[in-house]
A and B are shown apart, each in its own frame.
Chain A
């Protein structure tokens, strides 16, 4: 069955870089896109960016200068790196499978809580 699982540090210092990994199973990264979505506590989700099935990327313009998404298809992994973290980057970070048609997020990981604090 389709599964996504995020991993990474739960605590990041301000101004440091966040590195997260999404490990997927049950589908191929060369057939589906994977998006990263984050959600501050008590607020709505925010789409961050996407790794297309063909290896291309797309980013939310609000985060583009700080964000990088890459992948390793041999390991079924998608990576997120975001630099210059601030306290308002605190929240839960999810990776999601995205259907190309409709750009809908049909499967989600459990999420990883990231706190930016010194």
Chain B
């Protein structure tokens, strides 16, 4: 199975700050198959970025993604209070699909 290592495991940021999360895969993944989800407490995961860099419907432009091969990143350009959540990367390149362990974003 492809293991996805997310870092950091937690971030404490101020409103308006830029934050970046990294997802490193144990094997190379096509960029079409790397996605990011946002999960707020008590809710289901919500798709934010698909295929490395495409924003899902209704997602604000402050969210972006990039990467290739085994290294991917997710960025919030200016954190807002509503962005407090845990973020997961996911690969759909090979069975079994796997998720990262998550990065918890909190506000200072």
> CA separation between A38 and B74, bound complex, in Å?
23
- Contact code string B87-107 (vs A, CB < 8 Å = 1, else 0): 010101101111111100000
Which one of B51, B56, B99, B102 lies within 8 Å of A47 (CB-CB)?
A: B99
Q: How far is the CB of A57 from chain B (nearest CB, A)?
A: 11
- Contact code string B21-61 (vs A, CB < 8 Å = 1, else 0): 00000000000110101000000111100110000100000
Instruction: Return chain B residues, CB-CB under 8 Å to A99.
Output: 50
Assuming the contacts A45-B88, A61-B96, asked whether A102 and B44 have C-beta atoms less than 8 A apart, the reply is no
Residue of A nearest to B51 (CB): A102
Q: How far is the CB of B64 from chain A (nearest CB, A)?
A: 17
Instruction: Return chain B residues, CB-CB under 8 Å to A45.
Output: 45, 88, 90, 99
Q: Is A53 positioned at the interface, with any CB of B under 8 Å from its CB?
A: no
- A44/B88 in contact, CB under 8 A: yes
Q: Is A14 positioned at the interface, with any CB of B under 8 Å from its CB?
A: no
Within 8 A of B (CB), among A1-58: 35, 43-47, 58
- B47/A94 in contact, CB under 8 A: no
- A102/B99 in contact, CB under 8 A: no
Instruction: Return chain A residues, CB-CB under 8 Å to B45.
Output: 45, 94, 105, 108
- B92/A102 in contact, CB under 8 A: yes
User: 14 A-B contacts, Cβ less than 8 Å apart?
Assistant: A35-B97, A45-B99, A46-B99, A58-B95, A60-B97, A62-B96, A102-B35, A102-B51, A103-B93, A105-B47, A106-B47, A108-B44, A108-B46, A109-B44
